């Protein structure tokens, strides 16, 4: 059971059992030669055989992390991949103002804002906190200071209505071309949502109208949704809150007729 060493190396202990009150306990014994004779110089109690088995199994377990970081992954990564497949950023780069000396570009701000709106809408004050809790920190590394509400709105101020219109047209065309949608039958629906924007704030879209959420005390914005019956890719457009659904639907039909005539 013992291995007697020729030097002072204590790295090779021997294992020995001891029976005490009918129970068997195991010890690790370290031996050295003292004055030419083997002598036990160290004894380590290991416990019963069951204790040895538990210790051996625990040694094979991976160490437990001292801390964990939980990040939103699936929904955010899926939307990022769709944006890459549709080449959303290159499209926006070709239309929106160029990037400043440092920080994110207008295109990157818009894409991050779109993903945020789709999975976990937050205010721009909470935007940086949301970003830090997602896989976007790896997909689009950014200094959290760049994601302050002030930086976001500074970039949005550089985007005009013409930029937005051109981006929507290019993106709609790409959505029609890439999946090859069948446009012979389209499904249309209109709705509206109220806002807490101050009543005296000038705005064209925000108007009083028949609110479907029974909040007639607030100004509202209307939203129309158009999808193809085969793939259900949404084409969205906002319009003034005081325009009735029937009136807007007639204008949608008219725009479609005009486009066909122009072709």
Tokens matching residue 54: 């538990």
SS3 content of the chain, % helix, strand, coil (to 5): 40, 20, 40
Local structure of 198: helix, strand or coil: coil
Q: Mean pLDDT per segment of 10 residues, for the chain of length 263 residues?
A: 46 81 87 80 86 79 72 86 92 86 86 92 90 90 89 90 87 78 80 83 83 85 82 74 80 57 41
- Please state, in angstroms and rounded to a whole number, the distance separating the CA atoms of residues 97 and 107: 8
Q: Give the model's pLDDT for residue 100.
A: 66
The helix (H) or strand (E) run that includes residue 20 is strand 14-20
Angle at 23 between CA 21 and CA 24, to 5 degrees: 130
Cα–Cα distance between 261 and 263 in angstroms, integer? 5
The reported pLDDT for the residue numbered 93 is: 92
> Model-level pTM greater than 0.75?
no
CA atoms within 13 A on the CB side of 130: 20
pLDDT score for 172: 79
**pLDDT for 70:** 67
Could you tell me which residues are beta bridge partners of residue 188? 226
């Amino acid at each position: 059971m013992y291995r007697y060493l020729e030097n002072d190396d204590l790295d090779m202990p021997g294992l020995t059992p001891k029976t005490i009150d009918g129970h068997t306990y195991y010890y690790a014994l370290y031996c050295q030669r003292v004055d030419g004779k083997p002598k036990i110089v160290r004894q380590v109690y290991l416990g019963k055989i069951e204790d040895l088995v538990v210790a051996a199994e625990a040694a094979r377990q991976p160490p437990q992390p001292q801390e964990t970081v939980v990040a939103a992954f699936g929904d955010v990564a899926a939307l990022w991949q769709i944006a890459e497949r549709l080449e959303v950023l290159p499209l926006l780069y070709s239309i929106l103002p160029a990037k400043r000396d440092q920080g994110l570009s207008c295109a990157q701000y818009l894409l991050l804002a779109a993903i945020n709106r789709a999975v976990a809408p937050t205010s721009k004050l909470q935007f940086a906190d949301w970003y830090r809790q997602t896989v976007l920190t790896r997909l689009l590394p950014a200094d959290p200071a760049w994601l302050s509400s002030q930086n976001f709105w500074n970039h949005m101020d550089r985007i005009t209505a013409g930029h937005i219109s051109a981006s929507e047209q290019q993106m709609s065309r790409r959505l029609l071309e890439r999946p090859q949608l069948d446009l012979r039958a389209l499904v249309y629906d209109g709705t509206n949502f109220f806002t807490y924007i101050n009543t005296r704030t000038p705005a064209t879209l925000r108007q009083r109208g028949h609110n479907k959420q029974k909040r007639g005390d607030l100004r509202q914005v209307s939203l129309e949704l158009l999808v193809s019956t085969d793939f259900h890719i949404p084409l969205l457009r906002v319009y003034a809150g005081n325009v009735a659904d029937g009136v807007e639907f007639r204008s949608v039909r008219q725009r479609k007729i005009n486009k066909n005539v122009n072709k």
